[in-house]
Structure formats: C-alpha cells, structure tokens
Chains A and B, each alone.
Chain A
Amino acid sequence: MRDDERSDAILSDEELVERARAGDDAALSDLVERHHGAAYRVAFSMLQDDDAAQDVVQDAFIKAFRALGGFRGDSSFRTWVLTIAGNQARGALRKRGRRKETALEDAGPMRSEQKAPDEEAVDAQEAVRARKMLERLPEKQKLSVTLRIEEGLSFKEIGEVIGSSEGAARVNYFHGIRRLRELMQ
C-alpha cells in the first residue's frame, strides 16, 4: 500500500492486525502508536517504576507481534496487548520480590493539563493523594479502576485483561471506587 492510500482512511485495529500479519511495517507502527500509552499506564500502575514500565511495554509488544500469527481475534488487539503487559509487569514484580513502596512525591509523572467537560479546577494535591490511595488498592481493583477511568475500557474488556468475568470486573471497579472514597475522607 502506498502512503497516500493509507492516509485516506483510519484503519481499525482488526485491519491493522491483518496488515501487520502480512508484513506491513506501517500497520505495526500504527498499532504501537495507538496502544503503547495504555500499556505503559497499566505497567506503571503495577510497578511504580518508569524504566521498568517502559521495559514491560517493549517486551509486551515484541511478544504480541511474535504471536500475531496465533492471535485469534477473540478479544481486541488492545485488550490482548494490555493483558500481555499486565502479565509482564506481574512477572517483573515477582522478580523484584516485593512491591516498591511509593512515597507521596514519587507518585508518578503528572499530566500537565486536564481536559474535562466541567470547568472545575482539580486540586493537584488532592490528585496526588488520590493516586497514592489508588496504588494501595488490591491489584484487580486498582487495574479495574485504572482501565475503566483512564483508558475507557468496558467491563467486559477489563475482565479479559484481569482474567475475570465481566461481572467480577464490575464489582472490582465499584468496590475500588468505594474504598477510594473511604480512604480519601
């Protein structure tokens, strides 16, 4: 495919996967571009370490593309690569032996701008506190909240990533939200 033909249409993930399977390097690049951010945030939420999270993202995409021939499409490419990233991060945690305690000031790089429909200013200190509390939640609750709010995944997709049913993902999310509200009070 010529570049000018590619720019005419935004391809779906399914189409990009098909093209990447056929050796289309540009399709592969597009898939990385679309999903590396979500994969990084999943890895970072579990590891709380920038370098380790970047390594996990790199490993996850390498493994995903190596296994692309066997990808059946039962789930979306996004949930698939996020699942792999989650597994990689869990493996890194196991190797580390213990979870790194996160200091308040080390709660991760902050977004520089907030795009919200409402004009209420978000208190930066409260945001850091909320993040610190979020990191304290059990892993499935934390991932459910992160994937739902930050990435906009459905409960069905979250269930695929965390290895639970759709109903269990929903419970994990609302339980996590409830606990966060309690912790923030």
Chain B
Amino acid sequence: MSNATCETVRDWIPEYASGRLAPLEVASVRSHLEDCSECRAELDLAMLILASRAEVPAGLARTVRAAVRSDRAHVHRPWWGIGAAAVAALALGIGMSSDGSEQVESAVPGYAFEIEDGDAWLSDDGLIAGAPDLDALSDEALLQFLDELNVGGAGGGV
C-alpha cells in the first residue's frame, strides 16, 4: 500500500485517467489502486465518462472564428462606414429597427441572435447565478459534507 490516502488519490483520479498526472504521482496512484477497490471503482467511472465524452464537431472552430470575425467587422465598422451604410439603406428603402435592438447576422447562413436590453447573461461578479443549495453553507458545513462523502457509502476508506 502506498502512503497516498484515498482522499489524495480521488483528487488525482481525473488527471490520472486522462494521462495528465506527473510520473511520480502516477506511481503513487498505481500503488494505491492495487489495494483499494473503492478508488479503483472511482477510476473505472472516470474512464467511462472520458470514453463517452462528446466529440467536438469538425469545423466548429472554423465556424466560430468566422462568426467572431464577422461580428468584429460589424461592431468595429468605422464611423464613415456606418454613415455610408445608413445612406445606402435609406437610398434602398430598407427599414431599420425602431426598438433599438441590434440584429447581428453571423457568418453561418440562417443564424442570427438578438441583443436584448437587460439580457443578464453574466452576473455582476462574472459568475452564473445558481440555486443556493450548497452555496449557502459555511466552509465548516461543506467540510463535514465532504467527510460524509469520503467516508460513508461509496466513498469508503481503505
């Protein structure tokens, strides 16, 4: 049995499963796994999750880059460009939005999104607002919860 505890090994399992763990730590994990069925089961689960990871569609990066470039070209259009476009639109009799919203056509045909007033896509602190289940707990309560997860049930020690 290695000196690494179950708690340490479980923290390392994601890196171990994906081959990102440092060699010294890999040896420690392997040694621990020989004698710990609970940590082996957790590794097996991590491997299953990695094996079923969604494949990123080919060409997505290219599509995103094109959309971003198109958007930047639109947003950073020089003042004379905006003026010229407005004149051209008026000359052509093209109606313009009266509600102040901005319709942005992306590089992907048929795709567009609208910027809405008050669209709080990012909270003030840059974080997603979430259900206050665990967030309302103190650090002490969270540690107690972690102890229960590590010691009881599926998280049993060595």
Number of chain A residues whose Cβ lies closer than 8 Å to a Cβ of chain B: 82
By beta carbon, the residue of chain A nearest B71 is A62
Interchain CB contact under 8 A, A114 and B55:
no
Query: Which of chain B's residues have a CB closer than 8 A to the CB of A150?
Result: 49-50, 53
Majority-rule SS of A interface residues? helix
Majority-rule SS of B interface residues? helix
- Report the Cα distance A180→B129, complex, angstroms: 25
Interchain CB contact under 8 A, B126 and A126:
no
Q: How large is the interface on B (under 10, 10 to 19, 20 to 34, 35 or more residues)?
A: 35 or more
- Report the Cα distance A61→B72, complex, angstroms: 11
Contact of B130 among A54, A134, A163 (CB under 8 A): A163
Interchain CB contact under 8 A, B54 and A44:
yes
Contact of B121 among A63, A107, A120 (CB under 8 A): A63
- Report the Cα distance A40→B60, complex, angstroms: 9
Query: Which of chain A's residues have a CB closer than 8 A to the CB of B78?
Result: none
- How far does the Cβ of B73 sit from chain A's closest Cβ, in whole Å? 10
Most buried by B among A90, A115, A161, A177: A177
Interchain CB contact under 8 A, B67 and A62:
yes
By beta carbon, the residue of chain A nearest B26 is A117
Interchain CB contact under 8 A, A32 and B142:
no
Using a CB–CB cutoff of 8 Å, the interface residues on chain B facing chain A are 10, 14-21, 26, 41-42, 45-57, 60-61, 63-65, 67-69, 71-72, 75, 104, 106, 108, 111, 113, 121-123, 126-131, 133-135, 137, 139, 142-143, 145-146, 149-150, 153-155
